[in-house]
């Protein structure tokens, strides 16, 4: 059971982080649930028509899922274990309400699913994505009670993580795949797309909406009206000053959705990073120090096989900061494992530090600890949840 700590209003965040590290040891990932709630409110205020389906893969910690569930979010899951994390949050509801919750609050947005998974989720009448004829046949045979959402391929130019090469039907094949689903006795409820994670090119969304509107119209002209538009994720997080604002994107989305789609269309979105990235702060400790080729090197008790895994899997650079002041110089920062690949940064600016000193990394709540391993036997960081 992870610890929940109430923050005192008069303490600074840096003081809190050091106290948490002293009490719990390091590495420790601190999740601020009030920040998560603020992010959810910001999302809803700027995109009022869209129901937020939190992408559980961004950070599947059950406490985060619980906070978002209580705040009003729905959920995008990519595996049966993620499905069960969400289900555990509503298991005490009456059976009928649980069934309705699954239908209204969860979308299984991984277009490729194991046969065993399809058997397991079929009783819940889930909403599933697909993007090819073979997956459609598999769903028909093993999960015939599902509602379907067809995912199309759209431009991902300028996104930090590109997804279109792996997922999405070609727009020219979309209506045929919709008609084929109805032909075999399944129902296509909606259309979805994803412009790529951490999208800083808002034109991706505009092109995706225009493609979707054309498919909506053609499908209806051929006898099948689609009711749901899932605009996916990719909503930008302010990791640095060059990232465009979410408010600017939301204005564009609202305008284009209003122009292209009727008011009775249900709008879904799948924010993951947006909800949790800036809610996570890592505190880590210097366990070693050396000078190599004239450069100071610090070795931490966390690295790319653990909370800094986003450097590899998410193409994201997290800067480590010191709790101490002093003149800064360029240094290298490494993780604890016996692998040179475990490199956090070769050009970090830090003051002179010693073994045992603490560092922290902000905006590390998404796609970080979710990918932690036990490589070399080092366990993932502890997780502490705070509420303000």
Q: Which residues are catalytic?
A: 338
C-alpha triplet 314, 320, 323: angle, nearest 5°: 150
Enter the DSSP assignment of 186. -
Task: Identify each DSSP E strand in 8-146 by its residue range.
Answer: 28-32, 50-55, 74-77, 106-108, 127-130
Q: Are 30 and 20 in contact (CB under 8 A)?
A: yes
d(CA 365, CA 182): 41
- CA nearest neighbour of 29 among 59, 56, 50, 74: 59
- CA nearest neighbour of 87 among 72, 105, 73: 105
DSSP state string for 335-388: -SSS-TT-EEEEEEEE----TT-EEEE-S--SSSGGG---GGGPPPPEEEEEE-
- The CB density around residue 227, as the number of other CB atoms within 10 Å, is 14
Kindly give the residue spans of alpha helices, DSSP state H, lying in 143-245.
174-183, 203-221
Could you write out the three-class secondary structure of 132-156?
CHHHHHHHHHHCCCCEEEEEECCCC
Instruction: Provide the CB-side half-sphere exposure for 383 (13 A, CA).
Output: 23
Q: Do the strands 147-151 and 187-192 form a parallel or antiparallel pair, or are they unpaired?
A: parallel
d(CA 253, CA 348): 37
């Amino acid at each position: 059971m992870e610890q929940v700590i109430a923050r005192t209003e008069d303490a600074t965040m840096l003081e809190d982080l050091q106290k948490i590290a002293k009490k719990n040891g390091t590495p420790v990932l601190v999740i601020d649930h009030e920040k998560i709630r603020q992010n959810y409110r910001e999302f809803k205020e700027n995109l009022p028509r869209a129901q937020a389906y939190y992408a559980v893969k961004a950070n599947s910690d059950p406490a985060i899922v619980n906070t978002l569930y209580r705040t009003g979010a729905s959920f995008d899951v990519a595996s049966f274990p993620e499905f069960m994390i969400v289900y555990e949050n509503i298991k005490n509801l009456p059976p009928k309400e649980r069934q309705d919750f699954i239908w209204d609050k969860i979308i299984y947005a991984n277009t490729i699913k194991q046969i065993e998974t399809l058997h397991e989720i079929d009783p819940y009448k889930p909403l599933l994505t697909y993007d090819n004829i073979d997956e459609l046949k598999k769903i028909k045979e093993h999960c015939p009670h599902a509602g379907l959402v067809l995912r199309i391929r759209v431009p991902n130019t300028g996104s930090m993580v590109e997804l279109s090469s792996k997922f999405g039907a070609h727009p020219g094949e979309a209506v045929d795949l919709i008609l084929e689903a109805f032909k075999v006795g399944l129902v296509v409820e909606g259309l979805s797309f994803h412009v790529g994670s951490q999208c800083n090119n808002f034109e991706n969304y505009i092109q995706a909406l225009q493609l979707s509107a054309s498919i909506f119209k053609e499908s209806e002209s051929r006898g099948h009206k689609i009711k749901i538009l899932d605009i996916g994720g990719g909503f930008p997080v302010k990791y640095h000053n060059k990232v465009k604002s979410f408010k600017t994107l939301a204005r564009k989305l609202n305008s284009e959705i209003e122009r292209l789609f009727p008011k009775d269309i249900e709008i879904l979105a799948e924010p993951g990073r947006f909800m949790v990235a800036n809610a996570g702060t890592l505190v880590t400790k210097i366990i070693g120090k050396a000078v190599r080729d004239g450069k100071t090197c610090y070795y931490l008790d966390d690295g790319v096989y653990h909370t800094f895994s986003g450097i590899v899997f998410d193409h994201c650079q997290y800067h480590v900061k010191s709790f101490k002041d002093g003149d800064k110089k360029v240094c290298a920062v490494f993780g604890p494992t016996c692998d040179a690949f475990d490199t956090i940064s070769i050009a970090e600016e830090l003051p002179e530090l010693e073994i045992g000193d603490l560092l922290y990394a902000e905006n590390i709540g998404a796609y970080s600890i979710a990918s932690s391993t036990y490589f070399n036997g080092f366990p993932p960081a502890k997780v502490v949840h705070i509420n303000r």
